[in-house]
């Protein structure tokens, strides 16, 4: 999620420039006000579980260990009794490894049930060094996109080990990120086991993806309250998931080389998506499916005409963590329906 926010930063300026022409498509904040057949199909699909599933046997960390951080530094971890993961995905990994009882805080994007009562150490989407240090952590886990840099520097200057993990960009990153976290926590065997479990479950879902003509799927980032309407391009982070679901990333295929581009009727018509992938809160923010099809250009696409919308909860859609198989399964179910028809 944090990498997604970084990708959105530049595109947001373009979107805001279109605010005056987009005010007619902000819609209601109530997704239930006019949800049509597309929304009904989405709600009927199996949702992603709001709990993580820890490994069967709780591992015991063997510390100290020295590992290489993704920012090039060598980090020595002597204790892992008070862990602060600074992204929802990293929190998910720690909990699924079976070490959730050692986590003392969370990032705002850690939305699964086991982490819900932990204190939040971000303001908006920026790390608060003061909040982190007040919890006396002995290890902080961060993404390479975690910021602001000054806050991370302040945490390190206080003597707290900070391990950076490469931000996720697709399904191929699931295993390496799990192993990086597990190695830093002194539980490499558990990391190998969780990687194997995650990859096997993803492979099982992919095996059942219907074959035939590949539907074109466009990933739209929506925030109706701010009149932000963006379409994902080549590096939006959704391409890997869309392709694993047996589909084509419509934005990338239409030539959108940027991460995100402000939605225009021309861009949507050129992308010609058969289905639209959105985050659930984004869909709610534009008034559900009825509000989505009022965004200029959406109603003219095959997806808009068929009201074919795929919606996944914001905190997990692009995490590429241990629940990725569930995300993929939900996307496939919504995209093809129970009978596998396109």
Q: How far apart are CA 35 and CA 289, in angstroms?
A: 5
**What number is the average pLDDT over the span 28-46?**
42
Task: Give phi and psi for 304, each to the nearest 5.
Answer: -70, -40
Q: How confident is the model at residue 3 (pLDDT cuts 50, 70, 90)?
A: low
Q: At residue 204, does pLDDT exceed 80?
A: yes
Q: At residue 338, does pLDDT exceed 80?
A: no
pLDDT tens-place string over residues 97-152? 999 999 999 998 898 999 999 999 987 679 999 999 999 999 999 999 999 999 99
Q: How confident is the model at residue 315 (pLDDT cuts 50, 70, 90)?
A: confident
**What number is the average pLDDT over the span 63-78?**
97
pLDDT of residue 257: 86
Q: At residue 293, does pLDDT exceed 60?
A: yes
Report whether 25 contacts 293 (CB < 8 A): no
DSSP 196-252: HHHHHHHHHHHHTSPPSSPPEEEEEEEEGGGTEEEEE-TTSS-HHHHHHTT-EEHHH
Q: At residue 31, does pLDDT exceed 90?
A: no
Q: Helix, strand, or coil here: 76? A: strand
pLDDT of residue 134: 97
Mean pLDDT of the chain: 88
pLDDT of residue 330: 96
Q: How far apart are CA 335 and CA 262, in angstroms?
A: 24
**What number is the average pLDDT over the span 188-194?**
98
Task: Give phi and psi for 92, each to the nearest 5.
Answer: -60, -40
pLDDT of residue 91: 97
pLDDT of residue 337: 85
Instruction: Give the pair of three-digit tokens for residue 131.
Output: 């909040």
pLDDT tens-place string over residues 149-174? 999 999 999 999 999 999 999 999 99
Low-confidence winner among 41-45, 138-142, 286-290, 326-330 (lowest mean pLDDT): 41-45
Instruction: Give the pair of three-digit tokens for residue 52.
Output: 């993580």
The residues, any chain, with a CB within 8 Å of residue 137's CB and separated by 6 or more, are 82, 83, 84, 104, 105, 160
**Structure-model confidence comparison of residues 119 and 257, the more confident one:** 119
Report whether 81 contacts 186 (CB < 8 A): no
Low-confidence winner among 71-85, 113-127, 235-249 (lowest mean pLDDT): 113-127
Instruction: Give the pair of three-digit tokens for residue 232.
Output: 């994902």
Give which of 122, 7, 101, 92 is closest to 59, Cα–Cα: 101
């Amino acid at each position: 999620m944090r990498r997604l926010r970084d990708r959105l930063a530049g595109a947001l300026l373009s979107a805001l420039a279109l605010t005056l022409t987009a005010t007619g498509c902000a819609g209601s904040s109530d997704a239930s006000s006019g949800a049509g057949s597309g929304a009904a199909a989405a709600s009927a699909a199996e949702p992603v579980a709001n709990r993580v599933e820890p490994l069967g046997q709780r591992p015991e960390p063997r510390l100290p260990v020295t590992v290489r951080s993704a920012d090039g530094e060598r980090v020595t971890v002597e204790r892992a009794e008070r862990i602060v993961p600074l992204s929802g995905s990293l929190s998910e990994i720690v909990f699924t490894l079976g070490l959730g009882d050692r986590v003392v805080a969370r990032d705002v994007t850690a939305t699964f049930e086991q982490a819900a009562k932990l204190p939040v150490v971000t303001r908006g989407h920026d790390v608060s060094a003061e909040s982190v240090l007040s919890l006396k952590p002995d290890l902080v886990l961060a993404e390479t996109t975690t910021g602001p840099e000054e806050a991370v520097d302040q945490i390190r200057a206080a003597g707290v080990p900070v391990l950076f993990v490469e931000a996720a960009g697709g399904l191929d990153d699931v295993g390496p990120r799990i192993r990086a976290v597990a190695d830093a926590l002194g539980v490499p065997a558990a990391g190998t086991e969780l990687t194997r479990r995650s990859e096997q479950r993803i492979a099982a879902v992919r095996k059942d993806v219907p074959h035939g003509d590949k539907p074109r799927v466009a990933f739209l980032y929506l925030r109706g309250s701010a009149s932000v309407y963006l379409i994902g391009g080549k590096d939006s982070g959704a391409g890997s998931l869309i392709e694993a679901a047996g589909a084509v990333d419509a934005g990338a295929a239409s030539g959108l080389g940027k991460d995100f581009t402000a939605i225009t009727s021309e861009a949507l018509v050129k992308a010609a998506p058969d289905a639209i992938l959105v985050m659930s809160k984004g869909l709610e923010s534009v008034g559900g499916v009825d509000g989505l099809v009022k965004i200029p250009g959406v109603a003219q696409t095959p997806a808009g005409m068929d009201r074919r919308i795929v919606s996944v909860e914001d905190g997990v859609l692009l995490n590429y963590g241990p629940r990725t198989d569930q995300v993929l399964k939900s996307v496939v179910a919504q995209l093809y329906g129970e009978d596998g028809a396109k």
